[in-house]
Structure 1
């Protein structure tokens, strides 16, 4: 088994386990993470924690147990993240940007080189992540397993993902010194504003949806898939801070116009006097 120095780009990545039932899976996940050089594990409302099975299965990775962060909701787990990947099978109610684990790992490492915080989400042992939880991700990540037997234990899936992350980190990917934004034709450009976090986007989406309700574009009682598709759209774009505030300002203006509460500012004439014209 070969070893090498641990890539610093892995420090920006956290593994998030949602509603884990078996403590042994948490311990096995820690062992898988440490083997590949990752150290940040967040547990969302685990069924049992702490537990002796975690210590037993961690086997040499017990130092990571003290670093585990436990939160009540997935939103809390990813609040300061700029990029979120949700592990998923291919069949879902609504198509979402989906990457196999290897190209996904390359995207994650490139983002980590720009000092972005990245989360990779893993769901429950019996049913994975819900559609609502997957909607919080920018991209879905899938492992190309045997189609006749696509069964992976959650700790095994974490091992595969962590391995691919390590391999991508050890590959000579071009280090990115400043913010870049991906373009349609696999190009990139320099970017002058930081990307917004998931916490900010969780304020953005309700504002957008309420605006559409206010202008009678969205039926609050029967929204269908429109809110989910809008989340997919903006999650794929990854807004920067300026774009975020610009759009929130537009939403506020549209809401005021719809309610009849906005009036154009009075203009000053050549004599410095205010005019309604």
Structure 2
């Protein structure tokens, strides 16, 4: 699942070092769309660029806008980060469980919104998000640095994207049911020919074979290999019969 359409939105960031650190951690985890809403510092300052190290291009290509609605233009989903519980209707969620929601529509832009270093997002700004996440921290020290919060969320997003990709690859590699069915029919026909199963026992015995192969989660190429073996056995049987008839 691609992270290409996901925007990291920073509302009125005040620290150039934070902006540089955020650009760096975004690149670490495969995110490249940075949007700055009314930044209170120069995002292209020496401090920011030095902190970004090899991710300076993310700062240089960052989109600067005046308001949060401009930053969210075209987005179909948005999650805001906050340390405040809003209401029972819109609970504060854990990033690990909530952030994958942003990746469920890979063809459309989505956004993850972060507030100011000193006071976060206003109630009005929170209204632009559909869901809200808070990062669990120790009661001894609750406040998180902005760049650290972005890093944690980028990591969770990256992990979610990798899990989506792994699931997709696994699903596409598995042999379709109709391909498996063709193999089962060919196997049953051969087993009947060689007398391994009989017509009155074939259904029961083939049921056990189906269970065995289903547990193996066969790939399309593996089914093709098994069918090739059956075809070779059938060819050998035919040649043997033809030789006996000479």
Per the alignment, residue 58 of structure 1 pairs with 52
Select the structure of larger CA radius of gyration: 2
Alpha-carbon distance between aligned partners in 1 of 2:28 and 2:56, rounded to the nearest angstrom: 12
Per the alignment, residue 25 of structure 1 pairs with 18
Task: Note the alpha carbon deviations across 1:78-110, whole angstroms, 9 max, x for none.
Answer: 011000100011434775243210011221122
Task: Note the alpha carbon deviations across 1:228-260, whole angstroms, 9 max, x for none.
Answer: xxxxxxxxxxxxxxxxxxxxxxxxxxxxxxxxx
2:178 pairs with 1:167 = no
SS in 2 for 1:16: strand
Task: Note the alpha carbon deviations across 1:128-175, whole angstroms, 9 max, x for none.
Answer: 001110011011111122233212100000000000000000014665
Which 5+ residue runs of structure 1 have no aligned equivalent?
1-6, 176-277
Q: 127, 133, 137: which one pairs with 1:141?
A: 133
What's the TM-score once normalised by structure 1's chain length? 0.57
Q: 61, 72, 83: which one pairs with 1:78?
A: 72
Task: State the Cα RMSD in Å.
Answer: 1.7
Relative to structure 1, is the Cα distance of residues 172 and 136 closer, same or farther in structure 2, using a 3 angstrom cutoff? closer
Per the alignment, residue 44 of structure 1 pairs with 37
SS in 1 for 2:133: strand
Relative to structure 1, is the Cα distance of residues 105 and 91 closer, same or farther in structure 2, using a 3 angstrom cutoff? closer
Aligned residues of 1:97 and 1:138 also touching (Cα < 8 A): no
- Paired residues in the alignment total 166
Aligned residues of 1:55 and 1:62 also touching (Cα < 8 A): yes
SS in 2 for 1:15: strand
Per the alignment, residue 193 of structure 1 pairs with none
SS in 1 for 2:78: strand
Per the alignment, residue 6 of structure 2 pairs with 13
Aligned residues of 1:80 and 1:117 also touching (Cα < 8 A): yes
What's the TM-score once normalised by structure 2's chain length? 0.64
